[in-house]
């Protein structure tokens, strides 16, 4: 009986060409595994394509709700944003995919897991760190790094290889953007985006959204509720998180929300330029932040921002299955105990505009914030506070004046 390998299969040209390559070079029984994180119609026709290419079996594993509840929600609660812009759409999905690949490999008794990530990108790190953390005994095969055996360097090469192995597939060699899509976002790289001096061709790039200038001329109001930092309802209707994100994607896309153009620093050391569409995710992040502004005290909010940046780095670098991620997430979760309430906002041409936030745990006191003197705040108390708060500055200034005087 042949040894088995589980291939992370997307149905694209790269992973389709890998199927006969694995059989030819390793004599493996190839089991394809496609992890559904919300790719939509991209999954159509996968089973026929995988079997036609020589796979013995195809798993299509739906982890959309797990993706939302176990990976997206913690990052939303943390406000995890990489390099001030990237909402981690691809990064957040990878640990869930790695976990499912390991589960299928265990179920099938496979000796190896194969992925089609290139040797220049972040995904190879994310997949492999996840697999190593969960199944250190399983071999990892990364064809694009095995240049002595994997000799294909272009789409034309891959198409020719498939045809030589009797696989005639509906792929062509025409250039296109390199995209990654799931429920949270879609990323775009390649073509004119490889030159940071060029403006993105948004007419061809965008999939989920319209450019803000083409969004409706009338704003649209949206109301959301949260319980302990978890989104619970949208416009008065209770929904699970995946349903809320789906609806927000439609609303955000309609109004041109969440389109970013970023040059980011990859883990492997190079910079890369991409356009990301995260319409629903951008709205959800902003709504959660608006509620936290009311509920969290200053000191906690300050430290939480640091922890959010730390979690963003952890997720981006593929270190989900680590004690550090667990510790950071535990801190974040402790801050969410009272992040409960309602957030209202309006969407208009790429903007999310506040329209009122309320919470039973709000720390905002109208009597304190107003100019009217209340029982809890005596303006005279500010004299002593400023004296003590500014004492280090005053002492230093006095010392510098003394030093300058002695010089003369």
Residue 282 token pair: 């951008």
Single out the catalytic residue among 29, 36, 123, 180.
Answer: 123
- Beta strand extents in 100-205 (DSSP E only): 112-114, 139-141, 178-181, 186-189
Instruction: Compute the CA torsion angle 335, 340, 345, 347 (nearest 10 deg).
Output: 70
Other CB atoms within 10 Å distance of the CB of residue 398: 10
User: Which region, left, alpha or beta, applies to residue 297 given φ > 0 means left and ψ of -120 to 50 means alpha?
Assistant: beta
DSSP annotation of 211: -
Q: Residue 158: how many CA atoms within 13 Å on its side-chain side? A: 21
For this structure, is 123 an active site residue? yes
For this structure, is 91 an active site residue? no
First to last CA, the chain: 93
Residue 301 token pair: 């909010």
The Cα–Cα gap between 20 and 169 comes to 13
For this structure, is 178 an active site residue? yes
Contact criterion met (CB below 8 Å) for 290 and 343: yes
Contact criterion met (CB below 8 Å) for 222 and 346: yes
Closest CA relative to residue 37, chosen from 107, 89, 105, 114: 89
The Cα–Cα gap between 258 and 249 comes to 10
Residue that has been written with the tokens 């699970």 in this structure: 240
Sheet holding 178-181, edge to edge: 178-181, 186-189, 271-277, 259-265
User: DSSP secondary structure string, 216-266?
Assistant: -SS-EEEEEEEETTEEEEETTEE--HHHHHHHHHHHHHHTT-SEEEEEEE-
Single out the catalytic residue among 94, 126, 181, 273.
Answer: 94
Q: CB neighbours of 85 closer than 8 A, spacing ≥ 6? A: 260, 262, 264, 276
Single out the catalytic residue among 56, 70, 157, 178.
Answer: 178
User: DSSP secondary structure string, 309-329?
Assistant: HHHHHHHHTT--SSHHHHHHH
Closest CA relative to residue 33, chosen from 91, 135, 101, 124: 101
Residue 21 token pair: 């390559």
Residues classed as catalytic: 14, 94, 123, 178
């Amino acid at each position: 009986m042949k040894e088995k390998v589980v291939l992370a299969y997307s149905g694209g040209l790269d992973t389709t060409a890998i199927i006969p390559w694995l059989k030819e070079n390793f004599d493996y029984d190839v089991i394809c595994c496609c992890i559904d994180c919300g790719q939509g119609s991209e999954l159509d026709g996968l089973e026929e394509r995988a079997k036609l290419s020589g796979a013995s079996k195809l798993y299509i594993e739906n982890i959309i709700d797990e993706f939302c509840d176990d990976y997206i929600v913690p990052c939303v609660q943390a406000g995890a944003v990489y390099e001030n812009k990237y909402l981690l759409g691809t990064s957040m999905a990878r640990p869930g995919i790695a976990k499912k690949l390991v589960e299928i490999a265990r179920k099938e008794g496979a000796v190896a897991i194969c992925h089609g990530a290139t040797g220049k990108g972040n995904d190879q790190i994310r997949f492999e760190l996840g697999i190593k953390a969960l199944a250190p005994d399983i071999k990892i095969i990364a064809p694009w790094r095995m240049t002595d055996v994997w000799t294909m360097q272009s789409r034309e090469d891959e198409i020719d290889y498939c045809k030589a192995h009797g696989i005639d597939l509906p792929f062509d060699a025409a250039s296109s953007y390199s995209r990654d899509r799931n429920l949270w976002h879609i990323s775009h790289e390649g073509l004119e985006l490889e030159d940071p001096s060029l403006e993105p061709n948004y007419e061809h790039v965008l999939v989920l959204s319209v450019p803000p200038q083409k969004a409706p001329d009338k704003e649209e109001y949206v109301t959301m509720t949260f319980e302990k930092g978890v989104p619970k309802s949208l416009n008065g209707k209770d929904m699970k998180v995946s349903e809320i994100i789906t609806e927000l994607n439609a609303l955000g896309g309609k109004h041109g929300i969440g389109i970013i153009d970023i040059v980011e620093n990859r883990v492997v050391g190079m910079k890369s330029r991409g356009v990301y569409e995260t319409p629903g995710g951008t709205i959800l992040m902003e709504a959660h932040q608006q509620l936290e502004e009311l509920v969290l005290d200053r000191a906690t909010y300050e430290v939480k921002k640091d922890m959010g940046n730390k979690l963003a780095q952890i997720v981006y670098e593929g270190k989900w299955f680590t004690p550090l991620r667990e510790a950071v997430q535990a801190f974040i979760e402790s801050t969410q105990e009272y992040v409960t309430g309602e957030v209202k906002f309006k969407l208009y041409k790429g903007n999310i505009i506040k329209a009122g936030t309320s919470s039973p745990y709000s720390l905002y006191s109208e009597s304190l914030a107003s100019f009217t003197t209340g029982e809890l705040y005596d303006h005279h108390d500010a004299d002593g506070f400023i004296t003590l708060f500014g004492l280090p500055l005053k002492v230093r200034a006095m010392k510098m004046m003394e030093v300058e005087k002695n010089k003369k």
